[in-house]
Structure 1
Amino acid sequence: MSKGPISNFIEHHYRHFNAAALVDAAKAYEEQLANGHKMMITLAGAMSTAELGLSLAEMIRQDKVQIITCTGANLEEDVFNLVAHDHYKRVPNYRDLSPEEELELLNNHFNRVTDTCIPEAEAMRRIEEHLFEAWKKADDNGERYFPYEYFYQILLSGELEDKYQIDPKHSWLLAAAEKNLPIIVPGWEDSTCGNFFASYCIEGKLKPSTMKSGIEYMMYLAQWYQDNATDKGVGFFQIGGGIAGDFPICVVPMLHQDLGLDSIPVWSYFCQISDSTTSYGSYSGAVPNEKITWGKLHIDTPKFIIESDATIVAPLVFAWLLDW
């Protein structure tokens, strides 16, 4: 398939520095897929509130990604946007807000993420009742699921369809649910819906064991990696840093060093989009070569860092891969 106007623009103008790194990373990602490698994308930050679903959903539908790791916030905020988009409040002058103006947003039940405020009642509380019903049903039946599986249940049931406020094709989580894509969510407890779940457990309405744990997520990922890496390895496309990137990339050294499975290939490709500088032990700012010392990457693994804003860069990389 020939490239579209966005890709042609990128190839013509993006020739040096971070721009060239973007093109190199996108072409290498494309080569990984052509050679039969599966790919993981990791989402840190507030990429769902940034509406990355506008491009990521199509990446999922076109099988450009086979597994996702994300924070609990990115898992839930895609659904918040799906059902409450019309009620979001944009604050373009957010740098100028006084503490009093921030308090006013709180009092009006708006939770600010940079220049975008998520409405508590229309987004968070609207989803809570549906999740609680799914959690409670599993709890009563002695069943246990991962966090993403409960979201899949409420999305695929159709019970939210009359609440959609965006075109559903722009929800990356709905696209993932329709593909039954595995989603690793380390530290899910650090999210609004994780807080909901904890509160119900404190009140005795649910049991903590109804939600599968982070250790079980690592066990699941270890088996998934063995089943899907074959002799090729899996590519790793990291947006941001933190636990969304660090948790899944560690599965390879665990398989090698703790389970003695030396024949399992390391990650076959690595790219990180980050604006974190390299300093003071920061994982987000660590250069890819540091990962060689941890057994995550090889010397000859294709490695890229695009030092820029992921809300700008990720859609461009995806546009290249989608021939837009």
Structure 2
Amino acid sequence: MTTWEGLLHGIGFALQPGVLVYCVLGVVLGTFVGVLPGIGAMAAISLLLPITYYITPEAALIMLAGVYYGAQYGGSVASILMRLPGTPQSAVTSLDGYPLAREGRAGVALFTAMASSFAGSLIGIAVLVTLAGWLSRAATAFGAADYAAMMILGLVAASTIGSSSPVKGFAMVVLGLLLGCVGTDVNSGVQRFTFGRTELLDGINLVALAMGLFGVAELIANVRDPDRQGVTARIGLRGLMPRRDDLRRLPGPILRGGALGSFFGALPGTGSTLSSFLAYALERRVSRRPERFGKGAVEGISAPEAANNAASISAFVPTLTLGIPGDPIMAL
């Protein structure tokens, strides 16, 4: 069976009514879990894993994948409307999604996230079908030095995201590295900076940290200023429609973010979080008006969303071709 014959066979199976029920169930549960900050797709898939023993392997894979991708979009909803990242990779989306929502354009931000996620997934599927063999060989060719260089690239990119001053951005990256040192070393088992607290053995959770930085600060600001403009309570269908200028800005970031996420997602251990940060930094660098970022730029939503969804798809490359899970969710 050739690749295209296998693809058509898989599409035919996935479109069966009974299988679509499991797909819808997975997406709905994943979206609900993604909106709840701090839970994530890992916990949802772990809870649903026993169900897979009573259904076919194909339907189980579709249901769990639906949970995974639903959680990706659900995390974006919480980031845009409440500035509470539901998943680590959606933390970047809040930088421009929430300011856009406070302008009364929450529907546009949600539509941009949805359309970019869908387009990024299509790019990831195309890469998975056509370049799976090449990406698997490229992933196995990466060594320790290559991964270290890639992580340094991600840190440098992260230092350019939140501030116009590179020194301030770099200082925040160093602070993040220090916080990342807290916990148990995965190689030696040595406890670092835990101060005898069992709560710190697993390190500092990124989602909990983001909730404290963004969510608590937002609550305090609302308490101090009750008249402060917030997010629109009701979003109608007309409010989802972006302007023509917004639509014109979407294709480039989606293509760049999808291509970036497809490559980095195929590397075991990188995940979609790094892809989101790199995509945001890339868009800010190539933009003619980088000062718009952080104030409600649709490119700051579309690029990270396309990148993390493409990375989620291409994470199947090492899992399916080499049997090497790209992250813990792929291991499940």
Verify same fold: TM over 0.5: no
Give the shorter-chain TM-score range: under 0.3
Q: Give the TM-score taking structure 2 as reference length.
A: 0.27
Higher relative contact order (CA 8 A, sep 6+): 1
The structure richer in strand per residue is 1
